[in-house]
Amino acid sequence: MLPLIFTLALDATAAPPAGTYRYDALINGKSAGSTTVTVSSAPPLTKVVEVAVSHTANGDTHTNATLLLNAALVPLSYISTYKQLQDSMAGTVAFNGRSADITSGGVNKTFQLGGTSKQFVIMDTATMSGLLMLPAQMHAWHDADTTALVPALMSEAFLNVLHDVAVQRPPSISATDVSLSFQGEAPFVEWYDPATLIVDEVDFVGQNLRIIRRR
């Protein structure tokens, strides 16, 4: 059982503290990009602003994104721009209860909460904003099943938390960090500090992808 003072500290609206977090992405141990995520709070809203770059065979892709959440950490809006060489594309996500509209490149597509999903989350390509907020959202939503939106690909994926899963702790992860495992089309594990809800590492084992917080 968690100490009472710790339980009170992590109320239903707990989120990573306001600040700037930097992450490096590695695929097969080689650099695949980096990102800077800034969290700010103006109650009842939380804003997550991100500037990311990913390395691909066709050149670097630069992404700017802003995620806005309400007091319960439910997404209210998501705005992003993607640029590769001379090509650029803008995308938005408008949330409407049990549906969400993604608009990108002049194309609009509506997604519905599927199956047992209770909320939408953001898991855009080459970005960390949505992943950073996941432990806090799962705490607030009691590990509810979710539908993850991928605006850059105009797609969705079902996510659910796997409980009592034994995973190997990466050598760089503190002994006080805890893990959160997700099942879906691309299963992954998040390691985070339970006292602050700051994500220290995300591992997509099937893709040999690690996203590591820079200290």
Please name the residue that has the structure tokens 């992808």: 209
Instruction: Record the pTM.
Output: 0.91
Smallest CA-to-CA distance from 193 within 132, 130, 143 is with: 132
Q: Is the sign of the CA dihedral 214, 163, 159, 144 positive or negative?
A: negative
Please name the residue that has the structure tokens 């980096």: 34
For residue 170, the 8-state DSSP code is P
Q: Say how far apart CA 184 and CA 206 lie, in whole Å.
A: 12
Q: Digits of tens for pLDDT over the chain (215 positions)?
A: 334 333 334 444 699 999 999 999 999 999 999 999 999 999 999 999 999 999 988 889 999 999 999 999 999 999 999 998 778 999 999 999 999 999 998 899 999 998 899 999 999 988 999 999 999 999 999 999 999 999 999 999 999 999 878 899 999 899 999 999 998 888 999 999 999 999 999 999 899 999 999 98
Q: Say how far apart CA 101 and CA 147 lie, in whole Å.
A: 13
Q: Residue 57 has what pLDDT?
A: 84
Distant-in-sequence, close-in-space partners of 69: CB < 8 Å, separation ≥ 6 = 15, 45, 46, 47, 48, 75, 76, 133
Q: Where are any strands of DSSP class E within the chain?
A: 19-27, 30-42, 45-56, 59-69, 75-84, 87-96, 99-104, 107-112, 119-122, 146-150, 155-162, 178-183, 188-192, 199-204, 209-213
* HSE-CB for 14 with a 13 A CA cutoff: 20
